[in-house]
Amino acid sequence: MNTASSIPSAVEWRDGRLRLLDQRRLPHHVEYLDIADLNQAWEAINTLAVRGAPAIGIAAGYALVVAMADETDRDGFLATLRRKAEHLQSARPTAVNLEWAARRICAAAERSPDLQAIRAEAEAIHAEDRAICQALGHHGKHLIQPDTGVLTHCNAGALAVSELGTATAPMYVSHAEGKPFRVFVDETRPLLQGARLTAWELSQAGIDVQLICDNMAASVMAAGEVSLALVGTDRVTRNGDVVNKIGTLNVAILCKHFDVPFYVALPSSTYDPQSATGADVTIEQRSADEVLGTAAAGVSVRNPAFDVTPAELVTGFVTEHGIAKPPFATSLADLLIAGH
Q: Report the catalytic residues.
A: 234
Q: How far is the CB of 241 from ligand MRU (least distance, A)?
A: 14
**Exactly one of 33, 135, 161, 324 binds ligand MRU (CB under 6 A); which one?**
161
**Exactly one of 19, 26, 35, 54 binds ligand MRU (CB under 6 A); which one?**
54
Part of the chain binding ligand MRU (CB under 6 A), chosen from 75-83, 142-150, 154-162, 221-229: 154-162
Cα→Cα distances 147→26, 150, 174, 182, 272, Å:
30, 10, 12, 7, 35
Residue 259: CB atoms within 10 A of its CB come to: 7
**Exactly one of 2, 33, 38, 52 binds ligand MRU (CB under 6 A); which one?**
52
Nearest to 11, CA basis, from 54, 66, 70, 43: 54
- According to DSSP, the β-strands at 228-231 and 149-152 are parallel
**Exactly one of 115, 154, 242, 260 binds ligand MRU (CB under 6 A); which one?**
154
Q: 119 or 126, CB closer to ligand MRU?
A: 126
Cα torsion angle, 330, 338, 122, 200, sign: negative
Report the half-sphere exposure of 250 (CA within 13 A, side-chain side). Answer: 19
Q: 49 or 67, CB closer to ligand MRU?
A: 49
Cα→Cα distances 229→47, 165, 226, 250, 278, Å:
28, 15, 7, 12, 20
Q: 280 or 284, CB closer to ligand MRU?
A: 284
Residue 53 binds to ligand MRU (criterion: CB under 6 A) = yes
Report the half-sphere exposure of 178 (CA within 13 A, side-chain side). Answer: 0
Q: 81 or 98, CB closer to ligand MRU?
A: 98
Q: 67 or 264, CB closer to ligand MRU?
A: 264
57 three-class SS: helix
Q: In degrees rounded to 5, what are phi and psi of residue 163? A: -165, 155
Q: What is the footprint of ligand MRU within residues 287-306 (CB under 6 A)?
A: 305
Please give the radius of gyration of the chain, using alpha carbons only, rounded to the nearest integer: 19
**Exactly one of 242, 245, 275, 335 binds ligand MRU (CB under 6 A); which one?**
245
Part of the chain binding ligand MRU (CB under 6 A), chosen from 61-69, 142-150, 229-237, 251-259: 229-237
Please give the residue ranges that form the binding site for ligand MRU (CB under 6 A). 48, 51-54, 95, 154, 156, 160-161, 166, 193, 232-234, 244-245, 305
